[in-house]
Amino acid sequence: MKKILIVISLLGLGVMLSSCNLEKFPETGYNEGNVDVPEDSSDNDSAITTKEAIAGQRTAMYNWLRGDFQDANYKHLTANACRADDAYGGGDSGKPTEVEGNTFTSDNEFPSTFWSGFMNGVSKANAVICNLDAVKENDPSLSDTEYNQWMAEALCVRAYMWLLMTQYFGDIPMLTSIPPAINADNVEEVYPLYFPKRVDAETLKAQLEEDLAFACQHAPDAQSVEKDFASKGFAQYLVAKMYSLKQYRDWGKVKAACEAIEKMGYSLEPVYGDLWAYNLDAETSMHNSVESIFEAGYDKPASGNWFFMMFWRNHFKPDDSFSWIKWCTPTRNLANAYDAEGDTERKNVSIRWDKCTWEQYYSKDEYAFMGKIPTNITVIYHARLADVLLLHAEALANSNDAKGAMKLVNQVRKRAKIDALPEENVSTEQAKLYVLNERRLELAYEGHRYFDLMRFGDDYSKLKEVHDGGNIKGSASYDPYFVTRTPLTDERVLMPIPTSVLDENSNITQNKGY
């Protein structure tokens, strides 16, 4: 009787499990797709057991990255900029302004979209990971090479989602399987899979290490595939990112992963702006740059994304969705940072000026826009070489190799056509600050600034200095157009668990500070 009551209770949670009934292939907010079907099942038509079916799941995973992931990704780029000093929240919904001012709650759409977006990404990857063994056993046309490669690609995507998610929320659920359908006989065993607890950092670390070790060995070689497929380069990038985080920190492993990437044939695109270049007549945009490690985008405007409309305009159709105020408006503080370096190459790409019909931060006759998404087929870079070089420099600076760090910084600055910084007689602390500033100028609006500040040093003092200094005259990060910011505490460095998640899953508790 107890099992029956639990099943009835589950079915009553319609908000979360609208499709979680006693179907064989349920979908939830944590997983979607097919589940393992018992061998004696008489209803296994939808089970993934063929190479063609698993190839479809792999395609769906990549299509999700260029498609539905846009919702979480444009908020990711915005939050990293406007929680720091690179952007005013912009928009007239109030949501990004709340993020900018550190006044958001667990009802804000940013944490909600991040949670569901990253969990959906895990689900898309798990649809490949959790079904490959069954396909291998059932369909001999799936070769060992294909099995290993497709598994490695999906492990990369899952690790990428986990790393993004843990930077926003701290401890997170770690789903490595697809829950089977719930029935009266298995509910006590299956229930936790639908309502998972968060795992601690060490548990997630162990899984990431195992997954990425496999991916680094079996993902396709860096230059053997187009850049919208996960490769060994992206696998090593995730290793470097993982070990740069405070909870996993190992600068030696960051250095080794970056060095491995640098030997894979990538090079800096000769002209910075060409990374986001487009051709109006041919209706094409830069894809597969020599610098790109992993990207997502469309080839043709007819099937392009809507990412552009949140930030500026689609130059193939300039009036499309340009009647309302945009998010992630560039700050005067960032413009001044470029000017201080004489850096016109990167400023003129990151900050574009245009006429519009609103004037929340600038005159409508000369308004600033985030310029790195100028068309609906401009790629989104999930990883590129300049990021790797500067992450390598960060590792060296934190390993008392200031000279080595500055050589890498100057390699990036040379492409930007600005003066080299000193390489001799630079303290490690100064080198760290040089690297941090260079990452800001090079990677503006690519989803790094807040995370870079969050990662800096042994505590959050630099992050707080930049965040709170936005309202303090005389501070390096002051900008009179920032909204009034609630001072940042250690507890509010992370985002809150969304209210909807807490309501649906009693196994998850709210982060401190909210």
Domain total of the chain:
3
- Residue 364 belongs to a domain: yes
More confident residue, 192 or 151: 151
- Residue 3's pLDDT is 41
Q: Indicate whether 212 and 358 sit together in one domain.
A: no
- Residue 123's pLDDT is 96
- Residue 31 belongs to a domain: yes
**C-alpha dihedral over 74, 80, 82, 86, to 10 degrees?**
-110
Q: Indicate whether 200 and 259 sit together in one domain.
A: no
Distances 371 to 227, 352, 509 between C-alpha atoms, Å: 22, 5, 39
Q: What is the mean pLDDT of the chain?
A: 91
- Residue 419's pLDDT is 97
- Domain region containing 373: 246-458
- Residue 478 belongs to a domain: yes
Question: What is the SS3 assignment for 392?
Answer: helix
Instruction: Output the six-digit token pair for 419.
Output: 């003066």
- Residue 187's pLDDT is 84
Output the DSSP codes for 179-229.
PPPP-TTTHHHHHHHHSPPPB-HHHHHHHHHHHHHHHHHHSPPTTSS-TTS
3-state percent breakdown (helix, strand, coil) of the chain, nearest 5: 50, 5, 45
Q: Indicate whether 6 and 153 sit together in one domain.
A: yes
Tokens 């007819």 map to which residue? 302
How far is 450 from 463, CA to CA, in rounded Å? 8
- Residue 339's pLDDT is 98
- Residue 156 belongs to a domain: yes
Q: Indicate whether 103 and 148 sit together in one domain.
A: yes
Question: Is 168 a residue whose pLDDT tops 50?
Answer: yes
How far is 40 from 427, CA to CA, in rounded Å? 68
- Residue 8 belongs to a domain: yes
Instruction: Output the six-digit token pair for 469.
Output: 């200094």
Phi-psi region of 188 (alpha: psi -120 to 50; beta: other; left: phi over 0): alpha
Weakest mean pLDDT among 8-17, 150-159, 432-441, 491-500: 8-17
Instruction: Output the six-digit token pair for 213.
Output: 């070790």
The phi, psi pair for 190, rounded to 5°, reads: -85, -30
Nearest residue to 411 via CA among 396, 427, 425: 396
Instruction: Output the six-digit token pair for 76.
Output: 């990711």
CATH number of the domain residue 214 falls in: 1.25.40.390
Nearest residue to 161 via CA among 114, 199, 193: 114
Q: Are residues 100 and 145 in contact, defined by beta-carbon separation less than 8 angstroms?
A: no
Question: What is the SS3 assignment for 116?
Answer: helix
Q: Indicate whether 196 and 266 sit together in one domain.
A: no
How far is 494 from 503, CA to CA, in rounded Å? 20
Q: How far is CA 163 from the centre of its chain?
A: 8
Q: List, for residues 275-289, the tens digit of each pLDDT value.
A: 999 999 999 999 999
Q: Indicate whether 288 and 159 sit together in one domain.
A: no
Output the DSSP codes for 282-335.
TTEE--S-TTEEEEE--SSGGG--SGGGGTS--TTSTTTT-SSPPEEEEPHHHH
How far is 460 from 463, CA to CA, in rounded Å? 5
- Residue 511 belongs to a domain: no
- Residue 387's pLDDT is 99
Q: Are residues 220 and 231 in contact, defined by beta-carbon separation less than 8 angstroms?
A: yes
Q: List, for residues 416-432, the tens digit of each pLDDT value.
A: 999 999 999 999 999 99
Residue 265 burial (CB count, 10 A): 11
Average pLDDT rounded to a whole number, residues 80-88: 98
The rounded percent of the chain whose pLDDT value lies above 70 is 91
Cβ-based burial of 350 (10 A; exposed 0-12, middle 13-18, buried ≥19):
buried
Query: Residue 489 — pLDDT band, cuts 50, 70, 90?
Result: very high
Question: Is 9 a residue whose pLDDT tops 80?
Answer: no
Q: Indicate whether 406 and 466 sit together in one domain.
A: no
- Residue 227 belongs to a domain: no
- Residue 46's pLDDT is 60
Q: Indicate whether 291 and 210 sit together in one domain.
A: no
More confident residue, 270 or 9: 270
Using the 3D structure, point to which of 435, 458, 481 is the last residue of a domain. 458
Residue 96 burial (CB count, 10 A): 29
Q: For residue 380, give the H/E element and its range.
A: strand 380-384
Q: Indicate whether 191 and 284 sit together in one domain.
A: no
- Residue 265 belongs to a domain: yes
Helix ranges (DSSP H) in 372-489: 385-397, 402-415, 428-443, 449-455, 461-469
- Number of H-type helices and E-type strands within the chain: 19, 8
What is the model's pTM? 0.92
Q: Indicate whether 354 and 276 sit together in one domain.
A: yes
Q: Indicate whether 294 and 260 sit together in one domain.
A: yes
Question: What is the SS3 assignment for 466?
Answer: helix
The rounded percent of the chain whose pLDDT value lies above 90 is 86
Query: Residue 29 — pLDDT band, cuts 50, 70, 90?
Result: very low
- Residue 35's pLDDT is 37
Q: Indicate whether 376 and 356 sit together in one domain.
A: yes
How far is 191 from 230, CA to CA, in rounded Å? 33
